[in-house]
Structure 1
Amino acid sequence: MTGCAGGRLSVLLACLLLVACQSPREALEALAGEHRRTVEVLATADFPLVISAPVGALRPGALRVYLEGDGHAWATSSQPSLDPSPRRLLLAGLAMDDPLPSVYLARPCQFVSGERCAPALWTSERFSESVLLALEQALDQLKKRYGNQSFELVGYSGGGALALLLAGRRSDVLQVQTLAGNLSPAEWTRALQLTPLTGSLEPLHYRQYLARIAQRHLLGGDDRQVPGQVAAVYKGQLGVASCAQFVTLPGVGHEQGWAQAWQQWRGRPLGCSSERQ
């Protein structure tokens, strides 16, 4: 019995070591393989962007696109990371579990490098014009590939700010959902007493248009990385007549509790209705 137990322990330790040694790209490809999805790179003018999509054609209709968060932006509190790829594939997992037609879209320089990749792109300029242009080009390519006429954007953490910025600039984004979303980077830096994100754009600059976009923002009641006052400021700036819903989820943190919460909320309709909170 001791020998068998020792053998099983050795196999388990070897498996854990293999997982620990995987690069973020290898981990994403392994996860995609489990869900029968592809991982590929889209070329844009400035940055290559990694996507994961279902194998084969998607049925017509709005395409749900999941926008990744800021990833591993900082190695320490003062030292930017050399690789911003997320170490936990939280959003990728949610995208791949979604029964609706959906595509996972990573941020510039996540899972793939390019000549213009530099730490500013995932720190102070994470919501910059160049980042937005690359994401817009990716959406245009997806639209041409799948023939969809519109998008629903789902943004996690900093991906929430990008989802709102894209919705404020494009006429084909019909609705937005965010999970632990950074809805106002300007307020976020103020709330956490961080250095302002020089070179980044602010979703509230588009508030008049965003007020007419159907949107739901799921907030973690235990989220310390994006505090509730960020959403409160965004909500106040949009005004009482907006099409926005704000839902606080008790016991959900910035990275914990989202799998169950998203299963409960991802299929609920959005719109200007009595559901607004």
Structure 2
Amino acid sequence: MSRHVRYQRTLAGFYKACVLMITALLIACQSPREALQQLAQEHGRQVDVLPGDAFPLLILTPQTAEKITRLRVYLEGDGHAWSTATQPSLDPSPHTLLVPRLAVDDPTPNAYLARPCQFVMAAACQSALWTNRRFSQEVVTRLSQALDQLKQRYGNREFELVGYSGGAALALLLAAQRNDVTQVQTLAGNLSPRLWATMKGLSPLDGSLDPLDYRKRLALLPQRHLIGEADLIIPSGLADRYQQALDSHLSEYVPIQGVTHDRGWEAPWSQWVKTPLVRENAEVKAR
């Protein structure tokens, strides 16, 4: 090989490395809202904002405009709630777009729903809403209003809620307070903020609700909880204690090997999202 050819290949490799580095820097410089907008455009989704008196909420709209019976709604986690161990963040928007990515890759008609003050700030936004009061009735009520808005827009009769991390607690609380949530799935879910705080040796989340206070109602709800065995944020024992307290044959607990709190979920979720829940399995066998 001539010296000139080797030089050209070296130069081409250098240019390629520079392009990759510049691309990475541009992505890093994007705001969470800009990154979400780009993700939506790449997958034919639209970023929209559901109006609200106190908290407008950001959504990624479904691809289909057809009338559907059940709409799957992905609920975001706690996002960037804390800047340090003791200092709340000024903006709780998630820096990693794990949940939106799962939503846009899911062929089932679905919408992604962010939490209050994520991606869209409002005058009523205070750090308590993404720290101690992140599971408060105020937050649950606003998310429930958003589900009503989605129902009016898309004409669905039912919801399936998919909650990630803290979004799992909110999915369960919504299911306990509504009559149109027919099943819940969670990933790396904080299924009981009260038990979670105790297990982690943290102060209780004053002002927050706990799903286990609605255990009689939730025991009748088909639900599946996927837990990362390498998750250092949500202890695997939390799902065990939730299952014991709930004491329901309609609740499944599935440990996933090699998955952390926010990494490795895409592959297992692409498989489990196609698997019917307990009640659906029973209905199929009864036909």
The two structures have a TM-score, normalised by structure 1, of 0.95
CA-CA distance at 1:10 after TM superposition: 2.8
Whether 1:177 aligns to 2:175 is: no
Q: Which residue of 1 aligns with 2:250?
A: 243
- What is residue 156 of structure 1 aligned with on the other side? 164
Tell me, yes or no, if the aligned pair for 1:59 and 1:101 is still in contact at 8 Å: no
CA separation of 1:242/1:56 partners in 2, compared to 1, >3 Å: closer, same or farther?
closer
One-letter identity of the residue aligned with 1:202: D
Counterpart check, 1:52 vs 2:60: yes
Secondary structure class of the residue paired with 1:28:
helix
**CA distance, structure 2, for counterparts of residue 201 and residue 159 of structure 1:** 13
**Which of structures 1 and 2 has the bigger CA Rg?**
2
The alpha carbon displacement at 1:12 in A equals 2.3
Could you tell me how far 1:16 is from its partner in structure 2?
1.5
**What is aligned with 2:89?**
81
Distance (Å, rounded) in 2 between the aligned partners of 1:234 and 1:55: 35
Instruction: Give yes or no for contact 1:210–1:238 (8 Å, CA) kept in 2.
Output: yes
Q: Please tell me whether residue 117 in structure 1 is matched to residue 117 in structure 2.
A: no
Q: Counterpart in 2 of 1:27?
A: 35
TM-superposed deviation, 1:237: 1.1
- The runs of 5 or more residues in structure 1 that have no matched partner are none
**Identity fraction in percent:** 55
Structure 1 residue 4: Cα displacement? 3.3
Q: Contact 1:154 / 1:178 at 8 angstroms: preserved in 2?
A: yes
- Distance between the aligned counterparts of 2:164 and 2:140, measured in 1? 16
Report the counterpart of residue 260 of structure 1 in structure 2. Answer: 267
**Structure 1's 243 and 56: CA in aligned 2 closer, same or farther, altered over 3 A?**
closer
Aligned-pair CA distance for 1:55: 4.1
CA contact (8 A) 1:149 1:172 kept: yes
Selected match of 1:142 from 140, 150, 157:
150
Tell me whether 1:14 sits opposite 2:15 in the alignment. no
One-letter amino acid matched to 1:52: L
- CA distance in structure 2 between the aligned counterparts of 1:137 and 1:155, rounded to whole angstroms: 17
Amino acid at match of 1:142: L
- Three-state SS of the structure 1 residue aligned to 2:46 is strand
Question: Structure 1 residue 56: deviation in Å?
Answer: 4.9
Secondary structure in 1 matching 2:129: helix
- Match 2:203 to one of 187, 195, 202: 195
Could you tell me which runs of 5 or more consecutive residues in structure 2 were left unpaired when the two chains were aligned: 1-7, 283-287
Tell me the secondary structure at the aligned position of residue 54 of structure 1: coil
| 1:233 matched residue in structure 2 | 241
Separation in 2 of the partners of 1:243 and 1:164? 14
Cα 1:56–1:247 shift into 2, 3 Å:
closer
Q: Indicate if the aligned counterparts of 2:64 and 2:109 stay in contact, CA closer than 8 A.
A: no
Q: Distance in 2 between matches of 1:221 and 1:164?
A: 22
1:121-140: CA deviation from partner (whole Å, max 9, x where unpaired): 10000001110111001000
Q: Distance in 2 between matches of 1:197 and 1:229?
A: 19
Q: In the alignment, residue 249 of structure 1 is paired with which amino acid?
A: I
CA distance in structure 1 between the partners assigned to 2:74 and 2:240 by the alignment: 23
Task: State how far apart, in whole Å, the 2-side matches of 1:122 and 1:178 are.
Answer: 19
Does the 8 Å CA contact 2:63/2:109 hold for their aligned counterparts? no
User: Is the contact made by 1:46 and 1:130 (CA closer than 8 Å) also made in structure 2?
Assistant: no
